[in-house]
Structure formats: structure tokens, C-alpha cells
A = this chain, B = another copy of it.
Amino acid sequence: MAKPTIANVAQLAGVSQATVSRALRGATNVTEATRNKVRQAADQLNFTLSKSASALASGKTMRVILLVSGKLNEWFNSGVLQGVYEELAPFGYDVTPAFITDRSELDRFFSQLPKSRNSDAIIISSFQLMPAMREQLQAIDLPTVGVNVPAESGYFDASISIDNYSAMTMAVRLLRSLGHTNIAFCSDYIPADMIYNTSQRTQAFADAAQANATDGIMFSLLTADAHDAPLSKSDLASQLTAKLLSLPERPTAVCVETDQVAIALVKELRKQQLNVPEDISVLGFDDAEIAQAADLSTIRQEPIELGRIAGRKVLQLLRNEPLEHPHELQDPLLVLRNTTSRIDSGTATSE
């Protein structure tokens, strides 16, 4: 038989279509006896329910969209996907990933979003909230949960984000207690219409600097210059190194927005005859696999866990369960490895 339908199963089992439907979906009001009959018949015919037909009839698509900024194979994004999948798959939900890398795609996606009846919920990861998005976001009647999004509630039904502010505060405190009094923060160049949430770290660092400004600590903010094309990590690193070394007083510690850049920076610094961590401490952000391989001290993010939490929130929303804490912040974790150390007093001035 080419493609058995529910009718075939019903006939073979000697019951009605409705009963087959009920039996196969595990509805309560079916005798175990008939349920077994039906199951047997279904097995025999190699039958499974058609998701499309179910979706059409029930209004539930059993799919949730995961929209990420940047490519699907990026460390953070693929981790979130994994986490989301882990939570949703057991309940029969498919997760449909979508990714967006530039502004025009973003606009197009969001302008279509409110119309879409092709998923039951949508998870949005690591997007800055652009004005244009806000309207669209509110126009969606689907459950919407954010991952690593600005915590301003009202746009997402729920969200889970890394607490960047707490992270940078911890970082600054750590470096201070290691004796560092001249700390820099390196951020990648971020175009104005870009979408990543990482720029929040810059702000968080600035705030932390502000909070510690009184006790004579020096802070500097280093950013790569704008370019047409995105810089390679090593070009970026050498540019940042140059800026670092041309400061009036060379910092003894550097926070870097991303492990990748941090590692490139360490390489570049060593090339310039600066010892890491003896002469200068470097602290990354993420704790991706490479951080471990490179023995980089870093602030850990856990994308899989974020994805799981997001997945669970989706499930609750879908069941109309009230969320105790719709918007959560996750505390980051400092991972100390081999690129940070106590300041070597005496070496701290200049080269």
C-alpha cells in the first residue's frame, strides 16, 4: 500500500476513523482493548499520522521556530539549538532553525513573522531589539521567548539571558583583587545596524568601570575601527594590540569580548614579546572549546543550558501554564586558567 491513511487503519481495525485518531494520540477515552487493536493495525500497515493533516485540522503545527543571529554552526547558536531540541523533541515538537546574518534579512523575516501560521512558538536568540522589530514582535500572537536578549520585558513572553552586567562586574572585581589597577576592554567592531547582543558587554564594562572609578583604577575601552569587510580575528587582534600598546600607560589586564579574539590577542601579545599572563592578563568571554584548548581564562556562557531553559519556557507557554519567573538572568561563571595572574608589581608600568 502506497500511503495508508487513517481510514485504512480504521477499516483494518474495524473501528471508526475518529477512534483511530483518539487511540493513536493517546486520548484517555479509549478502551485499552481497542487501543491495542488500533495500534496493531497501524503497525501492520506501517502507518503514522500525517503531521500536515493533523496541523491543519487541529491548528497545532507541532513545530517551533528557532531564529538565531549569525550562522547555525557558530558555537553559541548550535548550542542553543541543541538545548532547545533536547527539551522539545520528547514532546513531539520539531524545531525549525532559521538564521539571519544581516539587517535586510532581519527586516524581511520580521515583516513576515506576524503572518506566519507555520509554527506554534518562536524562540529568538541574541538579537538586539531594533525599533522595527518591536512592533512586529508585539504583533505576533505566538508565544515568543528570547535568549540573550535585552531584559526589557513586554516584547517577549519569556526570556533567559546571561547577566552581562554581573559578568563584567565579576571580571573587574577579579582583576582588581589580583592587583590590577589598569584594565582595558576590547570589543569587536559592531556596525550600527547589527544585531548581536554582545555589545551589551561593552556597556556593562563601562558601568563596572564607573562603579569602581573612585578608587584610582584606570579603565580604557578599545574598539576595532570600522571596515567594509569584517576583520579576520588575527587582523583584529593586531589592531587591538597596537591600540593597547599605544595607550599612555599600558594596561596590565584586558577583558576581551570573545574567546576567539582573546586567543588571537594572546598570540599577538606574545609575538610582541609580552608575556601572558606575567606582563598582562587576558580574560575571554564564552568558554567555547577553543578556550580550553588555549588555556584561556574566561567567563563561561552555557548555550545548551540557555536553550534548554528556553525550550522549557516554550513548553509552559504552550500549555498555558503560568510562568513564575518569565524573565530570567543566568549568572555567569568565571573560569580561571592560564592567561590571568596576580600582577607582578614593578613590571606594571611600561615596556
Interface residues of A, Cβ cutoff 8 Å to B: 3, 46-48, 50-53, 55-56, 61, 63, 71-75, 77-79, 81-82, 85, 89, 94-99, 112, 114-118, 260, 263, 288-290, 293-294, 303-304
* This chain: copies in complex: 2
In the complex, chain B residues whose CB is within 8 Å of the CB of A72: 78, 81-82, 85
Instruction: Give the distance in Å from the alpha carbon of A126 to the alpha carbon of B132 in the complex.
Output: 41
**Is there an interface contact between B73 and A81, defined as CB atoms closer than 8 Å?**
yes
A339–chain B nearest beta-carbon distance, Å? 13
Closest chain-B Cβ to A68's Cβ sits at a distance in Å of: 11
Is B71 a contact of A61 with CB atoms below 8 Å? no
Q: Find A294's partner among B78, B99, B294 (CB 8 Å cutoff).
A: B294
Q: Which partner residue on chain B sits nearest A4 by CB separation?
A: B115
- B116 near A48: Cβ-Cβ < 8 Å: yes
- Which residue on B lies nearest to A46, using beta carbons? B115
One of B61, B71, B96 near A82 (C-beta < 8 A): B71
Docked Cα-Cα span, A94 to B65, in Å, equals: 10
The answer on a CB contact under 8 Å between B48 and A115 is: yes
Q: What's the least CB distance linking A12 to chain B, in Å?
A: 15
Residues of B within 8 A of A114 (CB): 46
Max chain B Cβ within 10 angstroms of own Cβ: one of A47, A116, A290: A290
Knowing that A46-B114, A52-B56 touch, tell me 13 more A-B residue pairs with CB under 8 angstroms.
Answer: A46-B115, A48-B115, A52-B55, A63-B96, A72-B82, A72-B85, A73-B82, A73-B304, A77-B78, A82-B99, A85-B99, A94-B96, A289-B290
